[in-house]
Amino acid sequence: MRITNSLTTSTIFNSEDLRELYSVKKPAVYLPLELNMGAPSFSEREVRFVLSYPDLYEVGTSHIGGKILYYIINNLTDFALMHRAYLPRPDMQEFMIRRKIPLYTIEGQRPVRDYDLWGLSFSSELTYTNALQMMKLAGIPLLRQERENLEDVPIVFAGGPCVYNPIPLSPFIDFFSIGDGEETLVKVAEVFREVKREGGKKEDFLREIRNIEGVWVPKFGRYPVKKAVFTGVSKGSFPTSPPVPVVETSQDRISIEAARGCLRGCRFCQAGYIYRPYRERDENLVKELLVKTYRNTGYEEASLSALSISDHSRFNQLVPKVMEVCYREVISLSLPSMRVKGFNPDLASQIMQVKKTGFTLAPEVGSDRLRRIINKDLTNEDLFIAVEGLFSRGWNRIKLYFMIGLPFEREEDIEALVDMLWQVYKIGKRYRGRKHLAAGISIFVPKPFTPFQWEPFADRDEVREKVEFIKKKSPKQFKLRFHDYRQSIIEALLTRGGEDVGNLLLKAHDEGVQLDEWKEYFDWEKWERAFEKSGIDLERELGGRETEEELPWDFIEGVVTKEFLLRELERARKEEWTPDCRIVGCHACGACTPEQIRNLKNYPIPERIEFSVPPKPKREFPLKRKVALIFEKVGPAKYLSLLDLTRAFTRTFRRFGVPLRYSQGFNPHPRMNILFGLPVGVEGLGEIVEVELSDEGYNFDEFLEKSRDFLPEGLRFKRWVDVEPKGTISSSINEVTYRIKPYKDYKIDSLKNGSLSEHIKELIESDGEIVVTLKVTNGKTANIKEILKYLEVDLSSAEVVREELFK
């Protein structure tokens, strides 16, 4: 075990690396360019974690579980820190290998290998090979047995919903955190600190943490492990000041966890079983968390996170309180897990008072018969009533989600799915406006700790027939999107696999498999070669399991009992509902303590969804003032695109209460304009963003000072000037000047004599630096990239700086 870490340079890139980073796609995601970065520095604390969601930055940063653990370690301990690392795109991986740059953290810009513990959070089995590739890039042996005697590499651990069957990953992972991680990770950090201070080794640490609830150490075999349950959900312990991406990410919004767990018991849904018992935050705390997070981040959108948000016992009180904040701060709200049954379209209209978007409904299947089998409390009539209500109130975008390949599915169920699409289409035709209809159709994968864990994965030929039938018979007006059957095969193999599947993962990694969730990177041929080399028995792994046989995950306790799951499987065969425990009482699933069962009476499901958000008056944003802010974009910030800057400035202005003027309509956005926008890779010493304001009295001198710690390195507001409300500062800019320093031979004569020469006011060449001043005519000027093209250099072989636009 590492006793001290070498405190070498704090940056991973030298100047040449940083310049050539221009050659990769989205270079900004590999640099510390987030807003609100405030994690402790590497040298500040004794125990150092890295946390990775093993996927691209754009996906990983949205993971709510990771945000919670990041907050817990960095804010609720004074001796441990947590930084983050993500999987680079393949082009960046090639760049790193070529430049001998190991996998590194965003915050520290340090090699992952320098840290003490490295956590991998798995929400999808299709990210398993990503994790192996990350280990390779970090320079860490993949197999835990090869790391046993290495005290100078991080201890690798894993958590998340996928590790409820940890066996496929066990050859690669030193220990697993099964269940809620809030308390587990703090205890792990405390043990590490103690063993480290006593001069212990990795094995001493691993022996000690076996005693922590929820921790499984594969080195010591399959001993009983009880999942960890965090009971403090209702009290807070939630991040309200996270780092804020400025590049576009998959779920770029405030996400407040309103409830954890679900008792609906949908028999296909693993989350509904592994996240028990049910816990929720009251509406006042949710509102408080939303307000704090907005004031710390400036986000424009928010969502309430829960497996079934409308089952929140105070849902009818919760939504009005949240909408009060959203309307006041111009935040659009989404409720992604609303139940269709009991849905009232009038309520949707109230929720969409800030921003109107499309609506997504999840009937899951097309027939009431199959819905009883999967225990989805919904009928076709419920869905049609919801759809009619949405169309009648002006909604034109509706998306439906379905599954095929479910246990006990019949041909008539697929026909019913098609009939449902036709019925939705016919309802839409009765109302004005072009309808945008879509249906996403995935393939059912049997998961551990569900009643269908013993069922076989769907046969390829049967799925193909069903897909072709749906394509042929559905209304042409529906945009159909089918999940790739081959990706589902991989998911089915990995979710229920044993040690043999661990060997398959290693062979797949050897073949170069990674990024299986991304269509552009998924490579089935590589998987086929891995099947052959590993000798995996696909028929056995994908087939059904006997209910008497031992399953790889049977040593995990405290989830739900096998007896309960077998009862539910039998009820599925009989097409019988199992109502929510909060409606009919405890079903003895084994997940809850007697006290937790008694507490359920405090969380009754609302009998009706009938909250009331009074109609708000139309928002008026009069133009009272216009300000131009001069900012610099230098160093790593030069890799921010124009859209990134707009996103960063919008959130910064909102974070510090700048009275922005918004556009009207269903999708309001701030009135701002970045003048003469720079391309990615060019520095600017004095750029300009003009902002329209709906109030006159804001103090921008204070804003300049306060915003400095919020903005990322290299991005800083320098000064501000008032502008005539109907005018623009660009009218006073007649020229722009660039300083170009090429690092290779260039062709200055081509620029002097080329077609761009008429746009050049002055051209000076001195000591290997070119200073070019361009004319500005009617607010337009020549593109600097065209200038570089004539010089026969680009932004990976030259440094380019634009001087101040407005002096």
CATH top-level class for 617-730? alpha beta
8 Å CB contact between 693 and 661: yes
Sign (positive or negative) of CA dihedral 395, 397, 401, 404: positive
Residues 6+ apart with CB under 8 A from 664: 618, 619, 621
Q: H helices of 115-228, where?
A: 128-138, 144-147, 182-197, 202-209
How remote is the C-alpha of 700 from its chain's centroid? Answer: 34
Does position 1 have pLDDT exceeding 60, yes or no?
Answer: no
What pLDDT score does 5 carry?
37
- Quick one: tokens of 687? 């750029």
At residue 36, the 3 state secondary structure works out as coil
**Which tokens in the block code for residue 699?**
């103090």
Q: What is the pLDDT of residues 26-60, one digit of tens each?
A: 999 999 999 999 999 999 999 999 999 999 999 99
Under the banding of pLDDT at 50, 70 and 90, the label for residue 336 is confident
| 773, 737 contact by CB (below 8 A) | yes
Per-residue pLDDT at 8:
38
Average pLDDT of the residues in 544-558: 97
- Return the minimum-mean-pLDDT range out of 131-140, 174-183, 352-361, 520-529: 352-361
Q: What type of residue is 772? A: V
β-strands 155-159, 117-121: how paired? Answer: parallel
What pLDDT does residue 353 have?
60
Terminus-to-terminus CA distance in the chain, angstroms? 57
Higher local confidence (pLDDT), 252 or 7 = 252
Peptide bond into 277 cis (omega under 30): yes
Task: Give me Rg for the CA atoms of the chain.
Answer: 28
Alpha-carbon distance 405 to 399, whole Å?
Answer: 20
Architecture (CATH level 2) of domain 733-807: 2-Layer Sandwich (3.30)
Q: What is the mean pLDDT of the chain?
A: 93
Tokens matching residue 320 = 């009005």
Residue 2: the pLDDT is 44
pLDDT at 617: 74
Stated as kind and residue range, the H or E segment containing 121 is strand 117-121
Strands (E), 247-314: 254-257, 259-260, 279-280, 301-305
Band (pLDDT 50/70/90 cuts) for residue 558 is very high
Band (pLDDT 50/70/90 cuts) for residue 363 is: very high
Q: How far is CA 193 from the centre of its chain?
A: 31
Percent share of the chain, pLDDT over 70: 96
For 394-417, the pLDDT digits (tens) are: 888 899 999 999 999 999 999 999
pLDDT of residue 394: 81
Model confidence at 355, pLDDT cuts 50, 70, 90, reads: low
* The 359-364 sheet, strands edge to edge: 359-364, 397-404, 436-443, 478-482
Whole-model pTM? 0.94
Domain limits, CATH 3.40.50.280, in the chain: 15-226
Q: Do the Cβ atoms of 172 and 145 come closer than 8 Å?
A: no
The two structure tokens encoding residue 363? 């009937």
Give dist(CA 547, CA 572) in Å, integer: 15
Average pLDDT over residues 95-117: 96
Strand segments, DSSP code E, in 352-430 are 359-364, 397-404
Q: What is the pLDDT of residues 225-274, one digit of tens each?
A: 999 999 999 887 799 999 999 999 988 999 999 999 999 999 999 999 99
Q: Worst-scoring range by mean pLDDT, 117-121, 581-585, 685-689?
A: 581-585
Residue 452's nearest CA partner among 200, 277, 272 is 272
Predicted confidence at residue 354, as pLDDT, reads 58
Name the class of domain 253-483+546-602: alpha beta
Mark out the alpha helices in 574-711 (DSSP H runs). 581-584, 594-599, 642-655, 700-706
For CATH 3.80.30.20, list the domain ranges present in the chain: 253-483+546-602
Assign a CATH topology to domain 15-226: Rossmann fold (3.40.50)
In percent, the amount of the chain with pLDDT more than 90 equals: 83
Q: Are 19 and 741 in contact (CB under 8 A)?
A: no
Among the ranges given (7-11, 81-85, 513-517), the one the predictor scored with the smallest mean pLDDT:
7-11
**Model confidence band, residue 3 (pLDDT cutoffs 50, 70, 90):** very low
* Segments of the chain assigned to CATH 3.30.70.580: 617-730
Q: How far apart are CA 306 and CA 65, in angstroms?
A: 12
Task: Report, as an integer, the average pLDDT of 304-328.
Answer: 91
Between CA 639 and CA 683 the distance in angstroms is 9
Residue 240, both tokens = 């309200």
User: Shortest CA distance to 797 belongs to which of 732, 731, 739, 746?
Assistant: 746
Q: How far apart are CA 125 and CA 491, in angstroms?
A: 6
Q: Name, in order, each residue with C-beta under 8 angstroms of 783's C-beta and a sequence gap of 6 or more.
A: 679
Asked if residue 797 has pLDDT above 80, the reply is yes
CA distance 241 to 292: 8
Locate 242 and state its tokens: 């996270």
Ranges in the chain annotated CATH 3.30.70.260: 733-807
Output the six-digit token pair for 235: 């009290």
Residue 461 CB burial class (10 angstroms; 0-12, 13-18, ≥19): exposed
